[in-house]
Amino acid sequence: MGDNYSTYLLDIEGTICPISFVKDTLFPYFTNRVLELVQQDSRDSSISEILSQFHIDDKQKLQAHILNLVAKDVKDPILKQLQGYVWADGYESGQIKAPIYVDAIDFMKRKKRIFIYSSGSVKAQRLLFGYVKDPKAPEHDSLDLTTYIDGYFDINTSGKKTEPQSYANILRDIGANASEVLFLSDNPLELDAAATVGMATGLAIRPGNAPVPNTQKYQVFKNLEDL
Is 49 annotated as belonging to a binding site? Answer: no
Task: Tell whether pTM > 0.85.
Answer: yes
Residue 156, classed as helix, strand or coil, is: coil
* DSSP, res 18: -
pLDDT digits (tens, 9 = 90+) for 3-45: 689 999 999 999 999 999 988 999 999 999 999 999 876 567 8
Mean pLDDT over 75-104 rounds to 92
The answer as to whether 167 is a domain residue is yes
Is 118 annotated as belonging to a binding site? Answer: yes
Of 68, 92, 116, the residue that ends a domain is 92
Whether residues 115 and 196 share a domain: the answer is yes
The answer as to whether 181 is a domain residue is yes
CATH code assigned at 28: 1.10.720.60
Of 42, 77, 92, the residue that ends a domain is 92
> What residues make up the domain containing 34?
22-92
Is 225 annotated as belonging to a binding site? Answer: no
Any bridge partners for residue 9, and if so which? Answer: 115, 183
Is 36 annotated as belonging to a binding site? Answer: no
Is 11 annotated as belonging to a binding site? Answer: yes
Number of domains in the chain: 2
- How many angstroms separate the CA atoms of 15 and 22, rounded? 13
Residue pair 203/191 in contact by the 8 Å Cβ criterion: yes
pLDDT given for residue 140 in this prediction = 66
Is 72 annotated as belonging to a binding site? Answer: no
- Alpha-carbon torsion angle 35, 125, 15, 174, nearest 10: 150
- How many angstroms separate the CA atoms of 142 and 214, rounded? 38
